Chain A
């Protein structure tokens, strides 16, 4: 049990899909965050699209998924 023997039958391709699934879940959770919370700290009149941390997060997750797709 300590060695995760139950996972021995799972192929590497399926395991990779589990990782992709994880990135998608994280991305979806980030999208659920209220916009006000994302901009907290930036005065309303100074807010711009590049302050949107949801875009930052999706960009980072996108690069991460690409790396796992390539390898």
Chain B
């Protein structure tokens, strides 16, 4: 399928990433260097890294497929699903975490609530991140197998080798700086496809006209706001309550791999600016992933599976050279997701499990070594579990769906934890456990409760609300924390009016 120049571009990209990542090895001397980049990184690199980590190759295909089926309303996830949450994170949460010198989100939860909340949150993230790794390795192997003709196991080992090497040696600095290049490649490849695709469909207005006259099911393809009684997964009520108020905030404020990047900023201004810059870049993502899906409605109107939209557009629109660049962009998406998972999981394990439970008070070099060894073990685990994806093709969706059920209750305890002094450790713990259990219950019996196709937005909202209420009720019934215990952990107007450090 690829021409000679395409092979060259893909291989040059892989080798280039390896060399660039290994270059940052020399900056890693302490555990802070490894997990927080020595708190030295600029906002633009962090912002670009947040964006590229958020959008993986699987999302490229999946979002294009959803745009093919449901139209522009899927763009809500990168527009209203990012900007408000990233501004809230930039101005309220990130400064708290940054000033507090924290490494992980569960570390904040541990200080604000108790060790159990920290451990549950951390163990859940570790479990999902580790399972995700295998899925991503398999996806990249399938990609390399189809493109380059490499056997699956060679493909898995080469992906693991390249990403593993630079993540093991270079830590989060290597992860972020390779992400910068990966984002540029994704944007160049993506915009080339959109530009040529628009030319192929006769321009934007022509495309809108053609799609609008294709039948009643395409009448609302260009409506970003869908009615609340739509059967698609994106009614405006779900977008507002489930996505904007809960899932987006939980993702931007409670996701370790996102927040950890901001904590690498060289100062507080860079930490805040990284989120806002990232939100600006995020608004271009729907153009890259959604527009090809819309164009495919015109170019390939009879696709049985919407997920075929993007591959078919690449195949039919792009010339040799750009095909290689587009596949390098796909690979960039996969690599950035894998390196983020590796580094964030190693940080969570070292800081939230190993340090408090296995070996307290060891030297900094020891924790640096533990972080590196954890990265290596995760790499082996990811490679060993990758064939699961072949046996259970729905596992990626299953993991993502279950993750979304964890996010509502997590955001409820983060929000109350930072804004309400009266919240207690037992309130937080009950909210997390009961909230997750309620989300699972709603999912199991979703046919009885919901009438839209995939009610994950509604489930996030209701599980958030249950977690929120449980936290308040249990907190009011249990002993409150002292002022001393809460120092620097609860929002105080002083943080925005005085030049104080936590």
- Residue ranges of A at the interface with B (Cβ–Cβ < 8 Å): 2-4, 7-8, 10, 12, 15-16, 18-19, 22-23, 26, 30, 33-34, 36-37, 39-42, 51, 53, 56-57, 59-61, 63-64, 67-68, 71
In whole angstroms, how far apart are the Cα atoms of A13 and B227 in the complex?
10
Known A3-B458, A4-B228, A61-B87; 20 more pairs at CB < 8 Å: A3-B449, A3-B450, A3-B451, A15-B227, A22-B80, A22-B84, A33-B91, A36-B497, A37-B495, A37-B496, A39-B269, A40-B269, A41-B267, A41-B272, A53-B91, A53-B269, A56-B273, A60-B87, A60-B283, A68-B80
Query: Which residues from B are CB-within-8-Å of A51?
Result: 269
CB proximity of B494 to chain A, nearest CB, Å: 11
Instruction: Tell me if A57 and B87 are in contact (CB < 8 A).
Output: yes
In whole angstroms, how far apart are the Cα atoms of A60 and B458 in the complex?
27
Instruction: Tell me if B79 and A67 are in contact (CB < 8 A).
Output: yes
Which B residues between 217 and 231 are near A, CB-CB below 8 angstroms?
Answer: 222-229
Q: A2-B450, A15-B236, A53-B276 are in contact. Are A64 and B80 (CB under 8 A)?
A: yes
Q: B63 in the interface, Cβ–Cβ < 8 Å?
A: no
CB proximity of B441 to chain A, nearest CB, Å: 12
CB proximity of A61 to chain B, nearest CB, Å: 7
Query: Which residues from B are CB-within-8-Å of A63?
Result: 280, 283
- Complex A-B, nearest 4 residue pairs according to Cβ-Cβ distance, in ascending order: A41-B269, A41-B267, A71-B224, A4-B237
Query: Which residues from A are CB-within-8-Å of B241?
Result: 4
CB proximity of A41 to chain B, nearest CB, Å: 3
Q: B90 in the interface, Cβ–Cβ < 8 Å?
A: yes
Query: Which residues from B are CB-within-8-Å of A67?
Result: 75, 79, 224, 283
Query: Which residues from A are CB-within-8-Å of B271?
Result: 41
Q: B235 in the interface, Cβ–Cβ < 8 Å?
A: yes
Query: Which residues from B are CB-within-8-Å of A8?
Result: 227-229
Tell me how many residue pairs across A and B have CB atoms closer than 8 Å.
117
For this complex, 7 residue pairs linking A to B, each with C-beta atoms less than 8 Å apart, are A7-B228, A8-B229, A12-B236, A19-B80, A23-B84, A39-B269, A40-B268
Size category of the B interface is: 35 or more
Q: A7-B237, A34-B497, A40-B95 are in contact. Are A68 and B84 (CB under 8 A)?
A: no
Q: A4-B237, A40-B499 are in contact. Are A64 and B83 (CB under 8 A)?
A: yes
- Residue ranges of B at the interface with A (Cβ–Cβ < 8 Å): 72, 75, 79-80, 83-84, 87, 90-91, 95, 222-229, 235-238, 240-241, 244, 267-273, 276-277, 279-280, 283, 442, 449-452, 458, 462, 495-497, 499
Instruction: Tell me if B276 and A3 are in contact (CB < 8 A).
Output: no
In whole angstroms, how far apart are the Cα atoms of A45 and B229 in the complex?
56
Instruction: Tell me if A15 and B225 are in contact (CB < 8 A).
Output: yes
Instruction: Tell me if B276 and A57 are in contact (CB < 8 A).
Output: yes
Q: Which of A10, A15, A57, A71 touches B72 (beta carbons < 8 Å)?
A: A71
In whole angstroms, how far apart are the Cα atoms of A16 and B227 in the complex?
10
CB proximity of B230 to chain A, nearest CB, Å: 10
CB proximity of B266 to chain A, nearest CB, Å: 8
